[in-house]
């Protein structure tokens, strides 16, 4: 079901030159935008070795770039390594699926096959992980390579064959993944002239499970009212946020969107509705 709610239409009776109107649009169910923001954790076995990850993530709303840092550990047999994890991934939409991919870099110390390790450097390559929005998990296949150096100067290469990696996405509320895909566009002030030209300002936000925004992005509003159809374009009002965009096309008479004529782009994802 479409969750679009236009609180105040642009011309409920007759359109007056230079009239000032406002509206709020709630993103529809078939055009979700997801955010990964908070603690991400996961673990998996590679042979008899348990590899665990836990990091704090942030997502750039314009570029869809997921970055974070946190902790890494590897335990099993004669191996016990602990260290720092740095993450850099991109987020993209592919149809109804959300995918992430990129690199995870590890620097660790500890014990490896009886040797005291001064430095262990690993780079995990993650070409593609798919997100399950319902349960808030991401999973995919990864591989890794790197090197270790002991305190006595011995060096050795490490290669981790392609293996399955599951990740638990942020859950700060304790009741499920924080990002349900909800978003809204609030047009704070829009001026409509006698020729049907619309200009104004607004705000775009993606909401967490409590209805609070991850970020509030200021928008520049442009558009037209022609033949009973309102077409609005809301784009980020700075160079850094210009890729965050909502295009709305809806009927003036009943405020219903025209199918497949609207879209939203934010956090590396694009949806049509």
45 and 164 together in one domain: yes
Residue 213 CB burial class (10 angstroms; 0-12, 13-18, ≥19)? middle
Residue 8 has pLDDT above 90, yes or no: no
127 and 188 together in one domain: no
Average confidence score pLDDT of the chain: 89
pLDDT at residue 21 in the model? 60
Residue 17 has pLDDT above 70, yes or no: no
118 and 131 together in one domain: yes
163 and 187 together in one domain: no
pLDDT at residue 175 in the model? 66
Number of domains in the chain: 2
pLDDT at residue 52 in the model? 94
164 and 52 together in one domain: yes
116 and 143 together in one domain: yes
Domain boundary among 168, 198, 219: 168
Mean pLDDT of 151-156: 94
Q: pLDDT confidence of 18, banded at 50, 70, 90?
A: very low
Residue 20 has pLDDT above 70, yes or no: no
Sequence-distant (6+) residues with CB within 8 A of 118 are 109, 149, 150, 151
Give tens-digit pLDDT for 219-272.
999 999 999 999 999 999 999 999 999 999 999 888 889 999 999 999 999 999
220 and 266 together in one domain: yes
208 and 256 together in one domain: yes
Give tens-digit pLDDT for 86-117.
999 999 998 878 999 999 999 999 999 889 99
Using alpha carbons, select from 167, 84, 87 the residue that is nearest to residue 121: 84
Q: Between the ranges 1-15, 23-37, 159-173, where is the mean pLDDT highest?
A: 23-37
Residue 10 has pLDDT above 80, yes or no: no
215 and 230 together in one domain: yes
CA distance 95 to 271: 8
Domain boundary among 168, 193, 209: 168
CA distance 193 to 136: 46
Q: How far is CA 72 from CA 85, 105, 126, 216, 267, in A?
A: 6, 10, 16, 32, 26
Domain boundary among 145, 168, 191: 168
45 and 159 together in one domain: yes
Q: Token pair for residue 243?
A: 């890729």
Range of the domain at 146: 38-168
Give tens-digit pLDDT for 55-94.
999 999 999 999 999 999 999 989 999 999 999 999 999 8
145 and 186 together in one domain: no
141 and 188 together in one domain: no
Whether 198 and 208 have beta carbons less than 8 Å apart is answered as no
From 1-10, 72-81, 145-154, 211-220, the region with the lowest mean pLDDT: 1-10
Give tens-digit pLDDT for 180-215.
999 999 988 888 888 999 999 999 999 999 999 999
Q: With the CA atoms of 219, 224, 228 and 229 taken in that order, what torsion angle do they form, in degrees rounded to the nearest 10?
A: -60
Q: Look at residue 206 and tell me if it is in a domain.
A: yes
Residue 2 has pLDDT above 50, yes or no: no
């Amino acid at each position: 079901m479409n969750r679009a709610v236009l609180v105040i239409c642009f011309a409920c009776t007759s359109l007056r030159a230079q009239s000032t109107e406002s509206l709020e649009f709630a993103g529809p169910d078939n055009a979700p935008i997801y955010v990964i923001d908070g603690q991400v954790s996961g673990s998996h076995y590679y042979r008899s070795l348990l590899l665990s990850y836990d990091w704090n993530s942030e997502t750039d709303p314009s570029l869809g770039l997921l970055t974070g840092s946190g902790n890494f550990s590897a335990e099993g047999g004669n191996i016990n390594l602990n260290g720092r994890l740095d993450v850099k991934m991109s987020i993209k939409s592919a149809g109804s699926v959300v995918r992430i991919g990129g690199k995870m870099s590890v620097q660790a110390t500890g014990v490896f096959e009886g040797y005291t390790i001064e430095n262990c450097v690993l780079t995990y390559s993650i070409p593609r992980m798919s997100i399950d929005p319902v349960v808030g998990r991401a999973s995919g296949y990864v591989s890794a390579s790197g090197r270790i150096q002991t305190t006595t100067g011995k060096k050795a290469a490490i290669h981790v064959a392609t293996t399955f990696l599951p990740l638990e996405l942020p859950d700060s509320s304790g009741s499920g993944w924080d990002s349900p895909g909800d978003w809204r566009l609030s047009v704070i002030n829009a001026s409509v002239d006698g020729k049907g030209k619309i200009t104004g300002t607004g705000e775009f936000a993606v909401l967490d499970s409590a209805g609070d925004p991850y970020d509030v992005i200021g928008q520049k509003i442009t558009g037209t009212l022609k033949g009973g159809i309102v077409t609005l374009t809301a784009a980020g009002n700075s160079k850094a946020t210009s890729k965050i965009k909502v295009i709305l096309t809806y009927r003036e008479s009943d405020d219903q969107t025209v199918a497949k004529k609207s879209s939203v782009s934010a956090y590396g994802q694009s949806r049509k509705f």
